[in-house]
Amino acid sequence: MTVASSSEFVSLESIRAAAADLVGVAVRTPLLPVDPLSDQLGTLVFVKPESLQRVGAFKLRGAYTLVRRLVREGATGVITYSSGNHGQAVAYVAKRLGLRAVIVMPETVPEAKRKGVERLGGEVVIAGRTSADRYNRAKELAEQQGLAMAPPFDHESIIAGQGTVGLEIVEDCPEVGTVCVPVGGGGLSSGVATAVKSLVPTAQVITVEPEGAAKFYTSRQKGERVVLERTASIADGLITLSVGVLNYRHLVRYTDRSVLVSDAAMREAVRFALDRLKLVVEPSGAATLAWLMAQRMGALTGPVVAVLSGGNIEWEGLTDLLGGAS
């Protein structure tokens, strides 16, 4: 496998520059202790709840970093393709900066995420079920309407913006031993891994994916970036067919291990977060927590930090997921 040269990687300096730009825009989410898991694993365990971020997910960080750059380059309107959270983030940023935003979403988009885009002033266009369907429609509309493309993960500005999550983890827990981060297209995971490994080379970075969407897990096994034929999971934010090209390079270089979790485990993690942590987390956001809940005493070097990537699930979605209200 050919590894990209250092010039092809997002630098720690770029992540720090993104962090400076995000002051007053992104919420600096805390590290919250998880005492039951600390007892279970025999080391301190924290979660970083990006579910508390503006628009309910980490995506704001990368979206702002990229869209601000596009504005500097002359953009007056933006378009993206998204299963939900990135779309909401782009809509929010566009509204904040006075831009038009068009968001291409799948037929299967959860109602909460579609309505979230609309509340923020984004124009929703529905296109197919796969990321390829959404991308092709967005590309067509961008050309027709003169809109700047704001991709959800495969872009250096996205990686730099999402990397601010990792920067904050190390600033708040300099002795961090293990960081667990979910993988969809790879924007968050590649950014977090880059920041953490650049600052604490001894830390272990573990990527977590659904069993039904094991694109990076499979890529790591085969030694090359793969595109899956299909994916399926309740974690709608993690079911891309592949990680991005740039994201793959970062993940290969900066992560140590890839693991999978079942839908049943993520469902239980959503319940655990609600019952024990008093946090509303969507299945995609609960993937890391789901994996940690299955680990044993001494399995990981601590302190351990799990990134909870988002919380864009509302009452009906929660009751459907957890078996109805009681």
86 lies in the same domain as 195: no
Query: What percentage of the chain has pLDDT greater than the value 90?
Result: 83
Query: What percentage of the chain has pLDDT greater than the value 70?
Result: 97
Whether 48 is a known active-site residue: answer no
Domain containing 40: what range?
6-57+155-322
pLDDT band at 6 (very low <50, low <70, confident <90, very high): very low
CATH of the domain at 145: 3.40.50.1100
Give me the pLDDT at residue 187, please: 96
- Domain total for the chain? 2
143-174 burial by CB neighbour count: b if 16+ within 10 A, else e? eeeebbbbbbbbbbbbbbbbbbbbbbbbeebe
CA dist 129 to 88, 124, 229, 237, 239, Å? 18, 15, 13, 13, 11
Say which of 219, 258, 284, 309 is annotated catalytic. 309
Whether 278 is a known active-site residue: answer no
Q: Is residue 43 part of a domain?
A: yes
181 lies in the same domain as 302: yes
Spatial separation of the C-alpha atoms in residues 3 and 139, rounded to whole Å: 29
Domain boundary among 116, 149, 182: 149
Q: Is residue 123 part of a domain?
A: yes
83 lies in the same domain as 214: no
Is 208 in contact with 307 (CB distance < 8 Å)? no
260 lies in the same domain as 317: yes
Say which of 14, 51, 59, 189 is annotated catalytic. 59
Give me the pLDDT at residue 5, please: 35
Partner residues linked to 117 by β-bridges: none
In tens, the pLDDT along 233-254 reads: 999 889 989 999 999 999 999 9
In tens, the pLDDT along 71-92 reads: 999 999 999 998 778 999 999 9
68 lies in the same domain as 27: no
Q: Is residue 1 part of a domain?
A: no
> Is residue 217 scored above 70 in pLDDT?
yes
pTM for this predicted structure: 0.92
273 lies in the same domain as 313: yes
Tokens (6 digits) for 185: 């297209």
Task: In the chain, count H helices and then E strands.
Answer: 13, 10
